[in-house]
């Protein structure tokens, strides 16, 4: 387990929990780092673009990687502009691409995401694209230079868990980059399930932000993610999907 | 109609007074409110038809407690469910509605509350809207700020920490033309992260120009969706043209604005029908322009200068709360703005349930931010206020109060791209 690192764009991380940016507060960031063990914290550039006294940039401790996202972008061009602005603001080279043309469900626009990924990867960004789990698009993202793919589990903020489970499994099976499950994870058990499937990491925000006891929920996520990861690495026991296993094998009559 | 709205200013000439009275008394003297004036752009759209068909068919008295319970049990709220939630049958379920609304608000917005302030740059108006303090027959101190004065006001507001501004004018193209408003937007971009507009409706190309000047949100209040009532309240001027106003948000989106805001002025007509139409205006436009950000406001009439008899009691706080909860359950993703016309107590309560944006440090007068923010008197550059406000809290006080309620005040969540 000690050598089990999450590698993104050549950077190594021990933690497989990434804090999302949807509902951020200083308390949430503190709990995510201390109790969930997060090493990557997402930051909405549009929120960081403030004179506000409580600028998130002042609250990120040493050793934590900032992951600016492009929320607010409606197309590739806007996402590229926001990513460049993030770099100017001193947020580093990581960028999470979020492109939404839908204010109701906030579903990502896969086509525009591929375009933005290609441009930003060429500019040296470590590009982490948020996407709807579609295998062809995931392959395009790999070719465009993404550092991982980030399929949604269910609509953002919904806490509904792995509604797209089958399709995320396909990405895990077919894509050689880390598959980070983003959006919709509402409970530690769902995070655990995704990790058992072979997800490389979990991004969550609402599940923590709306919890009664923030630090306790953060630590529950840490344990769930670690448990799921261990189960995946250990090779899960076989699952019997059709009836019981015959104790007398059907082929027992064969003599050579 | 209810003539308590009519007030004759002692400053009007006999000719003006005669015209005013004729407008008030003789419907045939008034222009057809459904007919566009020259220069007003007509767009092809089915949104209005859809909204009005639903509104006309709505009979709030038909809904029962069973309909309300069913609406609350559904995971997604249909138009029928929404109609039930707006009906009198839902009044006994207000607490359950508030619980559900709070859940939806927290799913979509967490515990954040956005703060903004309005800035009135001119109060000239060419319309006779009988309930409004700025109407052209009211004798008030008229004022239009110069760019220097606007900059001074903006500096004072920006120094308070505010990052989002809503620029307002009276509805006078003659006094406050698009070029003037555009210059104000360019100025605002220097001092604020987000610039919204609440001005008279304009054509698509003009919205495009204002967007290029830095504005990204457009608020237009329809006042009432009841066209007959609208005709009786808006007697003169371009604002009298109801359909041009209805399509304003759609033109703004076509002009490239990021978001649009809506409302009826609750209390002018049947508030349940107006609330239904306001929300459906958002609903149908969102289906057509899914990328757009939408928000709803919920003004009620407040006492105005020269007319303090106006005090509609038909929308009480409980009913306003019911409307806002119904909005939230039906449209979980839209912003809901509650202005300083409401009391501090109401606003403190409603941000925990449904509202996502409140104003602070508000003045509805012209050119008086310096005196209000710093106490420095400068009486000769002040124009009269459009209405009196109830919640006078400064940005600092509002910020502290929201934090103390366990919520998170947000000054900016926006990038102009």
Q: In whole angstroms, what is the distance from residue B277 CA to residue A73 CA?
A: 30
CB contact under 8 A, B333 and A104: yes
CB contact under 8 A, A101 and B290: yes
* B294 close contact with A: CB closer than 8 A: yes
User: Which string of b and e fits A167-191 if b means at least 16 CB within 10 Å?
Assistant: bbbbbbeebebbbbbbbbbbbbebb
Mean pLDDT for the stretch of residues A40-51: 77
* B352 close contact with A: CB closer than 8 A: no
**CA of B126 vs chain A CAs: smallest distance (Å):** 36
In Å, what is the CA distance from B411 to each residue of A51, A66, A193, B61? 8, 21, 38, 42
**CA of A89 vs chain B CAs: smallest distance (Å):** 13
Mutation for testing the A interface, residue in B211, B261, B292, B415 having most A CBs under 10 Å: B415
Enumerate residues 6+ apart whose C-beta is below 8 A from A92: A65, A66, A68
Where does the pLDDT of residue B1 fall: very low under 50, low under 70, confident under 90, or very high at 90 and above?
very low
Nearest to A41 by CA among A12, A9, A70, A19: A19
* Percentage of chain B lying above the pLDDT 70 cut: 93
CB contact under 8 A, B107 and A159: yes
Segment among B66-70, B217-221, B375-379 with least mean pLDDT = B375-379
CB contact under 8 A, B415 and A22: no
Asked if the model's pLDDT at residue A167 lies above 60, the reply is yes
Read off the tokens for B266: 């609750």
* Percentage of chain A lying above the pLDDT 90 cut: 50
Mean pLDDT for chain B? Answer: 89
Which chain B residues are Cβ-neighbours of A52 within 8 angstroms? 161, 163, 410-412
Where does the pLDDT of residue B50 fall: very low under 50, low under 70, confident under 90, or very high at 90 and above?
very high
Answer positive or negative: Cα dihedral of A58, A60, A62, A67: negative
Which chain A residues are Cβ-neighbours of B193 within 8 angstroms? 49-50
CB contact under 8 A, B111 and A25: yes
Where does the pLDDT of residue A155 fall: very low under 50, low under 70, confident under 90, or very high at 90 and above?
confident
Q: In whole angstroms, what is the distance from residue B122 CA to residue B126 CA?
A: 12
Mean pLDDT for the stretch of residues B198-224: 96
**CA of A241 vs chain B CAs: smallest distance (Å):** 32
Nearest residue of chain A to residue B112 (CA atoms):
A23
**CA of A237 vs chain B CAs: smallest distance (Å):** 36
In Å, what is the CA distance from B355 to each residue of A160, A247, B77, B259, B335? 24, 63, 18, 17, 7
* Percentage of chain B lying above the pLDDT 90 cut: 60
Which chain A residues are Cβ-neighbours of B360 within 8 angstroms? none
Nearest residue of chain B to residue A50 (CA atoms):
B412
Asked if the model's pLDDT at residue B379 lies above 60, the reply is no
Neighbour tally for B191: CB within 10 Å? 18
Nearest to B292 among A44, A81, A103 (CB): A103
pLDDT of residue B377: 59
* B160 close contact with A: CB closer than 8 A: no
Residue B79 φ then ψ, to 5°: -60, -40
Model confidence over A3-18: pLDDT tens digits?
889 999 889 999 999 8
DSSP letters for A166-177: HHHHHHHHH-SS
Nearest residue of chain B to residue A160 (CA atoms):
B107
Asked if the model's pLDDT at residue A33 lies above 50, the reply is yes
Model confidence over A85-110: pLDDT tens digits?
888 877 789 999 999 999 888 899 99
* Percentage of chain A lying above the pLDDT 70 cut: 89
Nearest to A50 among B107, B112, B163 (CB): B163
CA trace torsion A143, A148, A153, A154 (10° rounding)? -70
pLDDT of residue B341: 84
CB–CB contacts below 8 A, A to B: 74
CB contact under 8 A, B193 and A44: no
Segment among A231-240, B63-72, B254-263 with least mean pLDDT = A231-240
Catalytic residues of A, by residue number, are 96
pLDDT of residue A31: 80
pLDDT of residue B25: 87
Which chain A residues are Cβ-neighbours of B291 within 8 angstroms? 74, 100-103
Mean pLDDT for the stretch of residues B187-216: 96
Which chain B residues are Cβ-neighbours of A53 within 8 angstroms? 161
Asked if the model's pLDDT at residue A53 lies above 60, the reply is no
Q: In whole angstroms, what is the distance from residue B177 CA to residue B180 CA?
A: 5
Asked if the model's pLDDT at residue B345 lies above 80, the reply is yes
Where does the pLDDT of residue B417 fall: very low under 50, low under 70, confident under 90, or very high at 90 and above?
confident
Mutation for testing the B interface, residue in A25, A49, A79, A207 having most B CBs under 10 Å: A49
Which residues of A lie inside 8 Å of B (Cβ-Cβ)?
A: 22-25, 44-47, 49-53, 72-74, 78, 81-82, 85, 100-106, 157-159, 206, 209-210
Mean pLDDT for chain A? Answer: 86
Are the C-beta atoms of residues A229 and A17 closer than 8 Å to each other? no
Asked if the model's pLDDT at residue A249 lies above 80, the reply is no
pLDDT of residue B7: 79
ipTM of the modeled complex = 0.79
Identify each DSSP E strand in A89-165 by its residue range.
94-97, 126-131, 150-151
CB contact under 8 A, B411 and A52: yes
Q: In whole angstroms, what is the distance from residue B197 CA to residue B181 CA?
A: 9
pLDDT of residue B303: 47
Nearest to A210 among B106, B112, B333 (CB): B106
Domains and CATH numbers, chain B: 45-410 (3.20.20.70)
DSSP state of B33: T
Neighbour tally for B189: CB within 10 Å? 17
pLDDT of residue A241: 52
Tell me the range of A94-108, A156-170, B246-260 where mean pLDDT is highest.
B246-260
Which chain B residues are Cβ-neighbours of A100 within 8 angstroms? 291
Mutation for testing the B interface, residue in A44, A52, A56 having most B CBs under 10 Å: A52
How far out from the chain centre does Cα B12 lie? Answer: 29
pLDDT of residue B316: 85
Segment among A168-172, B6-10, B40-44, B348-352 with least mean pLDDT = B6-10
Q: In whole angstroms, what is the distance from residue B129 CA to residue B248 CA?
A: 18
Compare A252 and B109 and report the one with higher pLDDT: B109
Which of A7-11's residues contact partners 24+ apart within 8 Å by CB, and which partners? Answer: A7/A178, A8/A94, A8/A126, A8/A128, A8/A147, A8/A148, A8/A178, A9/A93, A9/A94, A9/A126, A9/A147, A10/A126, A11/A65, A11/A126
Which chain B residues are Cβ-neighbours of A50 within 8 angstroms? 163, 193, 411-412
CB contact under 8 A, B417 and A73: yes
Mutation for testing the A interface, residue in B104, B107, B111 having most A CBs under 10 Å: B107
Are the C-beta atoms of residues A93 and A126 closer than 8 Å to each other? yes
Residue B393 φ then ψ, to 5°: -65, 140
pLDDT of residue B143: 87
**CA of A70 vs chain B CAs: smallest distance (Å):** 10
Enumerate residues 6+ apart whose C-beta is below 8 A from A129: A96, A97, A113, A114, A116, A117, A141, A146, A148, A149, A150
Mean pLDDT for the stretch of residues B82-107: 95
Q: In whole angstroms, what is the distance from residue A132 CA to residue A111 CA?
A: 10
Which chain B residues are Cβ-neighbours of A81 within 8 angstroms? 417
Mean pLDDT for the stretch of residues B102-117: 89
Nearest residue of chain A to residue B413 (CA atoms):
A47
Read off the tokens for B6: 């009519």
Model confidence over B295-334: pLDDT tens digits?
999 998 654 454 445 444 478 889 999 999 999 999 999 9
Where does the pLDDT of residue A180 fall: very low under 50, low under 70, confident under 90, or very high at 90 and above?
very high
Asked if the model's pLDDT at residue B172 lies above 70, the reply is yes
**CA of A79 vs chain B CAs: smallest distance (Å):** 9
Asked if the model's pLDDT at residue A178 lies above 90, the reply is yes
pLDDT of residue B313: 47
Are the C-beta atoms of residues B86 and B275 closer than 8 Å to each other? yes
Q: In whole angstroms, what is the distance from residue B235 CA to residue B32 CA?
A: 10
SS3 readout for A219-233: HHHHHHHHHHHHHHH
Segment among A1-10, B83-92, B131-140, B383-392 with least mean pLDDT = B383-392
Q: What is the SS3 assignment for B178? A: helix
Tell me the range of A33-47, B131-145, B152-166 where mean pLDDT is highest.
B152-166
Compare B166 and A161 and report the one with higher pLDDT: B166
CB contact under 8 A, B108 and A47: no
Read off the tokens for B202: 């304009």
CB contact under 8 A, A25 and B106: no
């Amino acid at each position: 387990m000690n050598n089990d690192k999450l590698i993104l764009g050549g950077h190594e991380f021990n933690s497989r929990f990434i804090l999302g940016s949807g509902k951020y507060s200083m308390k949430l960031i503190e709990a995510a780092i201390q109790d969930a063990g997060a090493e990557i914290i997402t930051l909405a550039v549009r929120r960081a673009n403030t004179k506000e006294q409580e600028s998130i940039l002042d609250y990120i401790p040493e050793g934590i990687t900032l992951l600016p996202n492009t929320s607010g972008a409606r197309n590739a061009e806007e996402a590229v502009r926001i990513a460049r602005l993030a770099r100017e603001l001193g947020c580093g080279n990581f960028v999470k691409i979020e492109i939404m043309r839908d204010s109701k469900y906030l579903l990502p626009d896969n086509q525009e995401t591929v375009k933005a990924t290609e441009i930003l990867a060429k500019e040296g960004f470590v590009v982490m694209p948020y996407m709807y789990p579609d295998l062809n698009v995931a392959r395009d993202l790999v070719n465009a230079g993404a550092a991982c793919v980030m399929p949604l589990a269910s609509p953002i903020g919904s806490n509904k868990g792995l509604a797209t489970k089958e399709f995320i499994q396909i990405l895990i099976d077919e894509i050689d980059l880390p598959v980070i499950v983003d959006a919709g994870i509402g409970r530690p058990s769902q995070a655990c399930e995704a990790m058992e499937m072979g997800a490389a990491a979990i991004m969550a925000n609402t599940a923590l932000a709306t919890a009664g006891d923030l630090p306790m929920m953060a630590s529950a996520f840490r344990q769930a993610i670690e448990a799921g990861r261990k189960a995946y690495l250990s090779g899960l026991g076989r699952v019997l999907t059709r009836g019981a296993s015959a104790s007398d094998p059907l082929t027992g009559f064969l003599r050579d | 109609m209810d003539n308590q709205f009519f007030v004759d200013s002692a400053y009007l000439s006999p000719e003006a007074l005669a015209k005013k009275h004729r407008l008030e008394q003789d419907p045939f003297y008034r222009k057809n409110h459904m007919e566009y004036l020259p220069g007003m752009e007509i767009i092809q759209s089915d949104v209005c038809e859809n909204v009005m068909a639903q509104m006309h068919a709505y009979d709030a008295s038909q809904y029962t407690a069973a309909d309300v319970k069913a609406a609350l049990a559904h995971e997604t709220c249909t138009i029928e469910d929404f109609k039930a939630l707006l009906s009198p049958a839902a009044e006994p379920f207000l607490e359950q509605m508030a619980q559900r609304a709070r859940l939806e608000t927290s799913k979509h917005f967490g515990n954040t509350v956005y703060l903004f302030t309005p800035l009135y740059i001119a109060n000239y108006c060419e319309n006779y809207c009988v309930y409004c303090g700025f109407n052209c027959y009211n004798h008030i101190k008229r004022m239009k700020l110069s760019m220097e004065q606007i900059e001074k006001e903006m500096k004072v507001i920006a120094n308070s920490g505010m990052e989002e501004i809503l620029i307002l004018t009276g509805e006078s193209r003659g006094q406050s033309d698009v070029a003037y408003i555009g210059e104000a937007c360019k100025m605002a971009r220097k001092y604020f992260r987000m610039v919204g507009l609440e001005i008279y409706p304009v054509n698509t190309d003009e919205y495009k120009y204002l967007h290029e000047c830095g504005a990204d949100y457009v608020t237009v209040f329809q006042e009432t969706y009841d066209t007959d009532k609208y005709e009786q309240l808006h007697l003169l001027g371009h604002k009298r043209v109801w359909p041009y106003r209805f399509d304003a948000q759609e033109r703004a989106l076509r002009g490239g604005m990021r978001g649009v805001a809506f409302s009826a002025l609750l209390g002018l007509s049947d508030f349940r029908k107006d609330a239904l139409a306001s929300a459906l205006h958002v609903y149908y436009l969102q289906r057509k322009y899914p990328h757009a950000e939408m928000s709803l406001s919920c003004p009620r009439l407040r006492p105005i200068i020269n007319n303090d008899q106006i005090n509609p009691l038909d929308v009480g706080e409980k009913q306003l709360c019911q409307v806002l909860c119904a909005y939230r359950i039906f449209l979980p993703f839209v912003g809901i703005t509650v202005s300083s016309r409401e009391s501090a107590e109401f606003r403190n309560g409603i941000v925990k349930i449904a509202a996502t944006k409140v104003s602070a440090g508000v003045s509805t007068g012209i050119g008086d931010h310096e005196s209000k923010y710093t106490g420095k008197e400068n009486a000769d550059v002040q124009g009269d206020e459009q209405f009196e406000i109830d919640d006078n809290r400064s940005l600092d006080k509002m910020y502290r109060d929201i934090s103390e309620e366990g919520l998170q005040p947000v000054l900016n969540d926006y990038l102009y791209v």
